[in-house]
Amino acid sequence: MRPEALNPLFVECDALDGVGPKIKKPLDKLGLTRVRDLAYHLPERFVTRRPVEDLDQASEGEQIVIALTPVEHRAPRNNRGPYRVLAQDSVGNICALTYFGRASYTAKKLLPVGEKRWVSGRLDRYGDMLQIVHPDHVEKEGGGALARLNEPVYGLSEGLTQPRVVGLVEQALARLPELPEWIEPSQFEREGWPAWRDAMHLAHKSENASARDRLAYDELLANSLALMLVRADNRSRKGQSLRGDGSLRGKLQLPFPLTGAQTRSISEIEGDLAQEAPMLRLLQGDVGAGKTVVALEAMLIANEAGKQAALLAPTEILARQHYETIRSMAAPTGVEVALLTGRDKGRARESILMGLMDGSIDIVIGTHAIFQDSVAYKDLALVVVDEQHRFGVQQRLQLASKGKRTPHTLAMTATPIPRTLTLAQYGEMDVSRLDEMPPGRKPIITRVMSMERMGEIVDGVARHLKTGQQAFWVCPMVHESEAADLAAAEARYAALNDRFGDAVVLVHGQMKPEEKDAAMERFVSGEASLLVATTVIEVGVDVPNATLVVVEQAEHFGLAQLHQLRGRVGRGSEQAVCLLLRSNALSETAKRRLALMRETQDGFRIAEEDLELRGGGELLGTRQSGDTPFRVANLEQITRLLPAAHADARLLMERDGGLSSERGKAARLLLYLFERDWGVQLLRGG
């Protein structure tokens, strides 16, 4: 149960004044569904204005507050033109207050001729005339414009305005309760941070680094503590020791010898499986580094011990791919491998369920269908979770509950993560790294080309397809948009379809699952030779005959994404090529990013460089897809504050009495506040 003190923060937003169905919709789009969400909707920046007595004291491009008196209204000659109000300062200088569209109706009411108004906004020049376009505020004498010299700017969605969000945030802040301190006292004093409630108010008033850091630290502490609780709970559970005799693994006939990194990782996993405490290990492997072989070796250890193993994949396409690969590799061992997805119905499904229950199926591979209530196992002892970041801790725990005793868990990810951030993402796990590539892999040739050469690029794709090989073509967006001048997959598909006909298929995230699967099936089977897609293919699609990937407007992708997309090719014996198509206008960061892609194929180095290039930006490209676990802490704060937050969490658990102490009770509030309460649920009686 959520602590009662937090209930005012988890009230729905429509309990606030002025929030009806019309406003609730754009709030929902921003994820602002409760009072708590509004309180933590921190300003993106602040506008700092300077009061000036006349326009001579102001500079072009400066944000100012000034008293102006309207002298003339000039309506546009046509509907598209601007509506201008000419206004005069105290010494006679003229400035145009310019409005577009429906805002012109507001201008007529706000700015009557001859009546002085306080105007806030950015001073610019249009031709020979100074102007302020769409003033931020227009008020009568004493209206409070001079009190808004430092004003927050919030992220918006269509249907919201800054004043509306400011008003809702103020209501949310007024509901903040007084909460006890959860930060370790010496850390709190050393940093000189404000108390939680004060920090919330200060962060909305100005660029207060101390308040921002305090709130980011809270989030990192909650995350570290929750992961630590998962780890502690896992170690306290009764598992089962799995000791293989090598009888099945010895029959494997792999196409290449294991790398040193694979051998080391298998040894680490084998050591974990031999313990009674359930394994909780993350296998980090670059694209093509051989994670599947390591996972199969682990599952065969479970089979040698007379137990079952399950592999959970995030999509049906990836589940089927794993099934084919593992069934083929495991064929000499004689183990029974089955596939279970949501698509399986009737007798086929019943047969698989019976095989899992009676133990005749040794390894099952599938989507979330493998941990549904109707699925029972004879003795599930190992769970392998592929693309760990696609599953929450709760989903993983749900599958772990399927064993007679808590199964061992091996999580895998193909997204290399900088060492500084592994703690933030996977703090509850031990980590193995596959940082070597299997022998015989040819480096992927990476070229950067201008979008202006589109004609010859398409001709090059035509020559490539004539050889019988396949290709990917990746676009940043699904639909064309007036708001963003980005390539759209649907438009590119239409153009390439005109050239190549039925050889082209389209896949994007907004398609119905059955349509997407059908298109992917055509490409995987070789029936289609060119796949046009968005980043939906970023992870997991394995087509050895695909040896060319074209990424359109590559400067709009993060380094980690580009690396994953490039990894879709180079999986067979043929030479693979990655073409990164760029626009002409590139930022310095984009230039460095594309240069690095040409320079290296080391995913771990790319991840470290990505961290450096992004600075305070997104976390490894995950914010582009909404996967980041952090809403308050930015990347710079994560790097700087996480070690202290992790140490503080450890101190609470090991020295300060855990969640049953006075500070622990405050920390329990923190876990619920940041919705890491699954950590609390693991505690008996939590």
Domains in the chain (CATH in brackets) are 1-44+156-177 (1.10.150), 46-153 (2.40.50.140), 257-434 (3.40.50.300), 445-600 (3.40.50.300)
pLDDT lower than 70: segments of the chain: 388-401, 403, 419-420, 423-428, 478-487, 537-541, 611, 614-629, 679-686
Task: List the one residue out of 288, 289, 281 whose CA is nearest residue 262.
Answer: 289
3-state SS, residue 85? strand
Task: Classify strands 308-312 and 363-366 as parallel, antiparallel or unpaired.
Answer: parallel
- Note the pLDDT tens digit of each residue in 243-266: 999 999 999 988 789 999 999 999
Cα Rg, the chain, nearest whole Å: 29
Give the three-state DSSP class for 103. helix
Helices in 359-444 by DSSP H: which ranges? 393-400, 419-426
pLDDT given for residue 624 in this prediction:
30
* Integer Cα distance of 524 and 321 in angstroms: 9
CB 490 within 8 A of CB 478: yes
Residue 617 confidence (pLDDT): 37
- For residue 620, the model assigns a pLDDT of 31
Whether the CB-CB separation of 167 and 18 falls below 8 Å is answered with yes
Which residues, 6 or more positions from 554, have their beta carbon under 8 angstroms from its beta carbon?
448, 562, 580, 581, 582, 594, 597
pLDDT at 61: 95
CA dist 168 and 185 (Å) reads 33
pLDDT at 388: 56
Inter-CA distances, 90 with 112, 120, 129, 147, Å? 17, 16, 17, 21
The CA–CA distances, whole Å, from 19 to 33, 36, 126, 160, 401 equal 11, 15, 39, 11, 42
Residue 394 is predicted with a pLDDT of 60
Nearest to 474 by CA among 565, 545, 544: 565
Tokens 């005959």 belong to which residue?
Answer: 545
pLDDT attached to residue 629: 65
554 touches 580 (CB < 8 A): yes
Residue among 505, 441, 443, 439 nearest 470 (CA): 505
pLDDT score, position 626: 32
